[in-house]
Structure formats: C-alpha cells, structure tokens
Amino acid sequence: MKTVSENRAYGGVQGVYSHGSTACGCDMTFGLFLPEEAERGPVPVIWYLSGLTCTHENAMVKAGAQKWAAEAGVALVFPDTSPRGADVPNDEAYDLGQGAGFYVNATEKPWSTHFRMWDYVTEELPELIFKAFPVAEERQAITGHSMGGHGALTIGMSFPGRFRSVSAFAPIANPSASDWGRKQFTAYLGADEAKWAPHDATLLMRKRGFDGPILIDQGSADQFLDLLKPEALAEAMAARRQGGIFRMQKGYDHSYFFVSSFIEDHIGFHAAALYD
C-alpha cells in the first residue's frame, strides 16, 4: 500500500492510499478519514460508496462529511467506484465501464476479469483497512449516494450482523426495473434476471430486510427520479414493516448540494448506532 497524501483535517487525518487489488486486477485508490480519537485506539467506521462517474475523491471533497465524523469520533472510508487503467475495459457511455462498477462481480466478458467490485468492497478493502489502520471491525455502518446508495443497501442487507446501520442518498432503488440497472446488469451479469435479484435493494427488502435501522433521503426535485424509483423501495419497506426512515426532501436535486445538506443527519444517525 502506498500513501498518496495525508492532510490534517478537523483534528484528524484525511488520507488517500493506493494498492494493488487482487479482486480487480489493477491498482485501486481509496480515501480514509481518521478522527483524532484514532490516535488512542480503534474507532467505528462508516463506509461511503459513491455514484456513477465518481472516484474516491468526489464525496471526500464535496460531501463535507469529515467535520461531522470528527465530532462523532468515527472513521470514513471512500472507495473508488470501479477498477481503472489502460488495460481495464471501458465504454463510451458514462453509465457503464470505468466509473460505473455498480458494486457487483461481473461474470460476462469483457468485464469479468476486472469488474469485481462486490468482492473488493466487501472482502479485500475491509481486510486491508482493518489490518493497517485503527478501525474497529465490530462497529461498522454503510452509506452511499445514487449507485453507491444501491451498493450500500444491497451490501448492508446481504451481510447480516456486519453493519449496525445503513443509509442512502437518492439510491438506485429498483435497478431490475430501471434503465439504470437493466443495462448494466445485462452487461455485467448476463440476461438471466434471477442473477440480478441479489443486487436489487427493493427485491432484497421484500425478501429479507435489514437487521437494524435504515435512513433514506431522496430529493423531490431529483432529475433522475424515474430511474431511481424510490417509491418501490418505500413500498417494500412499508410492506415488510422495516424499521427505518424514508424522507422526501422538498426541492432538492441529485447533486452533492443535496448530499452535503443532509450528511450531518446521516453521520449522526450512524454514530448513534455505532456507539449504542
């Protein structure tokens, strides 16, 4: 692992690190914020998964999360959204290929060699971080925006007991029924829709739900509402009687202005669960 940069921030350290990834078959970069408390021992951690076109840097720079994480005494991890490099396949469209890993393990060519973001985010990167940094493996939470909200929800529901809380900003909530999902799942996983179901938050909510609290924020003026399909997830949560909060925020769109407006709420929501 290489240190790309480390900057003092809110009494803690915002670092950027790179390493060779076995899962993705290329070098990967991630951001990690450690609060001041990490100098004295392991701290709880919140995973932040970013959306389409993003790198590790977008949320790290734009969300304003470090201030609130420092106040709560929690670490933040900002993984990249896909493998990258000259040898990694790509597509001319912004919503497929590099920057659009969708947090799945691709099984179809040409994507299957490198696009194994599920294994990277759930196995390889956690193992590296827990060995190298003072982060408490037994106290984890996960959140994300858009494609990253999809990833946070599906990962959270697929690993019972790992995460104490899950939240999402404008998640791609029902990708099996959306062009933000059907296109990518077909490319990465093939045409058999049964293989898509483990990566659809609405279907997972109907099937198993989450064993802890959930917070969802969605902007009412989001320009991608028809692609996100938040109503499907809200209906699934209600039908399952899932413990959680779903908020439609009037007038907010899909941008990081929306995320930064409510990131304090999400950090506080997770901190309450992590320190319970």
Catalytic residue among 80, 200, 217, 222: 222
Architecture of the domain whose range is 2-275: 3-Layer(aba) Sandwich (3.40)
Check if the beta carbon of residue 181 is closer than 8 Å to that of residue 174: yes
Catalytic residue among 145, 199, 254, 266: 254
Q: What's the confidence (pLDDT) of residue 48?
A: 98
Q: What's the confidence (pLDDT) of residue 41?
A: 97
| pTM flag (> 0.75) | yes
Q: How far is CA 8 from CA 50, 60, 61, 266, in A?
A: 23, 14, 14, 23
Give me the residue spans of the domains in the chain: 2-275
Q: How far is CA 56 from CA 5, 17, 104, in A?
A: 13, 10, 17
The count of C-alpha atoms lying within 13 angstroms of the C-alpha of 13, restricted to the half-sphere facing its C-beta, is 12
Check if the beta carbon of residue 145 is closer than 8 Å to that of residue 50: yes
pLDDT digits (tens, 9 = 90+) for 202-254: 999 999 999 999 999 999 999 999 999 999 999 999 999 999 999 999 999 99
pLDDT digits (tens, 9 = 90+) for 235-244: 999 999 999 9
Q: Is 114 a catalytic residue?
A: no
pLDDT digits (tens, 9 = 90+) for 140-195: 999 999 999 999 999 999 999 999 999 999 999 999 999 999 999 999 999 999 99
Q: How far is CA 49 from CA 30, 31, 181, in A?
A: 11, 11, 17
Catalytic residue among 21, 146, 165, 178: 146
Q: Is 254 a catalytic residue?
A: yes
Rounded to whole angstroms, how far apart are CA atoms 13 and 32? 8
